[in-house]
Amino acid sequence: MICMLKQTRNSTARSVAGLRFVVLTLCAVGFSAPAEIANVEQWGIFEQAFEGPAGGNPFVDVEFTAVFTQNDQSVPVRGFYDGNGIYRVRFSPQTQGQWTYETKSNCLALSGRTGSLTAVAPAKSNHGPVKVAHTFHFAYADGTPYRPIGTTCYAWTHQDEKLQEQTLKTLSQSPFNKIRFCVFPKSYTYNKNEPQLYPFEGTPPSSWDFTRLNPEFFRHFERRIQQLGELGIEADVILFHPYDKGHWGFDRMSAANDDRYLRYVIARFATFRNVWWSLANEYDFMKEKTPADWDRFFQIVQSEDPYGRLRSIHNGTLLYNHTQPWVTHASIQNGSAVEDYGRAVLYRDVYLKPIVFDEVKYEGNIPQRWGNISDQEMVLRFWEGTIAGTYVGHGETYLDPSDVIWWSKGGVLHGNSPARIAFLRKIMEEGPAEGLEPIDKWQDYPFAGKRGEYYLAYFGRQSLTEWPFELHKAQIKDGMKFSVEVIDTWDMTITPVKGVFETKKRDDYAFADKDGRRVPLPGKPYIALRIRRIAE
């Protein structure tokens, strides 16, 4: 029996009331006992299952929500149908203490159910969800700095189980703390295999009932999100993509089906604290969608997600308007911006939000121009982006006889950049907690850091044998003392420079060493400097 009331024009109020009583009574079959009080970590996941109707179309017919309350704070949360007559509601408490809840539904079996939970202190490894911090950077909810070092494996969850487990093992040994991947499977060059599960009920490849989602598919997907969380990796979930071209038709659903899918995904996944929402990959290549569609999708995600997870959208050639209030950070594809820190920093000035260059081409050897940069070039782009005060994402596309390429299917990494990226990540984590800020955007000072305290310089492709010690004037005065280290970003060495450098005003813009000392350099490319103030 479905929990849906339909009133004809000739129905009387009495007959409608009687019908409602009958429908709700039938829906009450399987009514279960109230849940016991549960303990859950702050930022963890509380879940409660309820029995309800399995007939009709529960994805369309049944409305099911719960309101979680603590003192004067109320958080409405959408529940979801998980198949076989089971409905679930999930909640992630953002504050500690006791919470109560009450369900609401057009079905009596799911309405008026009450319970409570106690949110306890988080475990040591639980820092909460990542949020925007200090305008251009990120931090976990407890204030711990987070610096995204991401990679891309678009369709890794759509491969066979063995390959998926291999991908997780590889990630566990990698420097990456964020991964971009798609909800929908991908039909594209080097990725033509059919997935094992599909998001909707129907017959592959293109006969689907888009009003009926496949709970088994989403259970599998969320298990992978959970496993990533256990590895300390953020799941940058891509909700739409253009790599379908009508093969399955997931890229050209109706507005009603798009919206239903979004609400279902958010109801299931939003409670995972490591989830980020990426509305699309290369959104502008999805010609069936309009700019108004993307605005609507953003607003649905923003309104349906009770926790305000991070939200972005990824471009092909046309940038989205990242100044919109529903965009938390700019996810940028640009093949040249991070070849030079001066280009990369411009995005910060435009958007005044964190800038993540999620795609800067791929380290690899495929014929396509976007997938054949060298390992050294990939590392250079990470460093240039870093000293611009932005963040850079990795990708790998080495040819494989079985077409198991990391950028799409995962598996194992073959390139030389990940080890160097790990080296950079350690340096970043030893830097200012607030994040690296450009020191002087108006002149040729390749520095980021914290003015007067910490400087990270990168000379890129230049092969210098020395560098005249000089710092931009901001927050500098005569007599300040600094230590200097020479960093070989490719050989992954850090060499202290002997002695102490003491500042003296040189002109209206810079301070130099009082004795005119210069920093000796090895005369090779990919060299950086770390300059730190010595406490008095």
Rounded Cα distance, 352 and 136, in Å: 7
Residue 513 near residue 462, CB atoms below 8 Å: no
Q: Where are the domains of the chain?
A: 13-120, 147-429, 441-533
Position 510 pLDDT exceeds 90: yes
Stretch 86-100: mean pLDDT, rounded?
98
CATH of domain 147-429: 3.20.20.80
Quick one: pLDDT at residue 119?
Answer: 98
pLDDT band at 14 (very low <50, low <70, confident <90, very high): very low
For a pLDDT cut of 70, what percent of the chain falls above it? Answer: 93
Q: Name every residue whose Cβ is closer than 8 Å to that of residue 140 and which is 6 or more positions away in sequence.
A: 127, 128, 129, 130, 131, 146
pLDDT tens digits for range 418-436:
999 999 999 999 999 999 9
Q: Name every residue whose Cβ is closer than 8 Å to that of residue 434 and which is 6 or more positions away in sequence.
A: 133, 134, 137, 145, 450
Quick one: pLDDT at residue 9?
Answer: 32
Stretch 247-251: mean pLDDT, rounded?
97
Position 221 pLDDT exceeds 50: yes
Burial class (CB in 10 A: 0-12, 13-18, 19+), 422: middle
For a pLDDT cut of 90, what percent of the chain falls above it? Answer: 91
Residue 366 near residue 372, CB atoms below 8 Å: yes
Quick one: pLDDT at residue 445?
Answer: 72
Rounded to a whole number, what is the largest CA-CA distance in the chain? 97
So what's the architecture of 441-533 in CATH? Sandwich (2.60)
Q: Name every residue whose Cβ is closer than 8 Å to that of residue 518 and which is 6 or more positions away in sequence.
A: 466, 467, 468, 469
Q: In DSSP terms, which residues pair with 458 in a beta bridge?
A: 528
Structure-token match 């759509």, residue found:
158
Quick one: pLDDT at residue 441?
Answer: 84
Position 157 pLDDT exceeds 80: yes
pLDDT band at 38 (very low <50, low <70, confident <90, very high): confident
Choice among 263-277, 397-411, 437-451 with the minimum mean pLDDT: 437-451
Instruction: Tell me whether domains 147-429 and 441-533 share a fold.
Output: no
Position 18 pLDDT exceeds 60: no
pTM above 0.85, yes or no: yes
271: helix, strand or coil: coil
Stretch 502-513: mean pLDDT, rounded?
97
Choice among 21-35, 92-106, 280-294 with the minimum mean pLDDT: 21-35
CATH of domain 13-120: 2.60.40.10
> What average pLDDT does the chain have?
93
Stretch 485-510: mean pLDDT, rounded?
97
Quick one: pLDDT at residue 10?
Answer: 36
Position 513 pLDDT exceeds 70: yes
Quick one: pLDDT at residue 36?
Answer: 62
pLDDT tens digits for range 160-169:
999 999 999 9
Q: Quick one: DSSP state of residue 233?
A: -
Position 143 pLDDT exceeds 50: yes
pLDDT tens digits for range 48-71:
999 999 999 999 999 999 999 999
pLDDT band at 240 (very low <50, low <70, confident <90, very high): very high
Host H or E run for residue 60:
helix 58-61
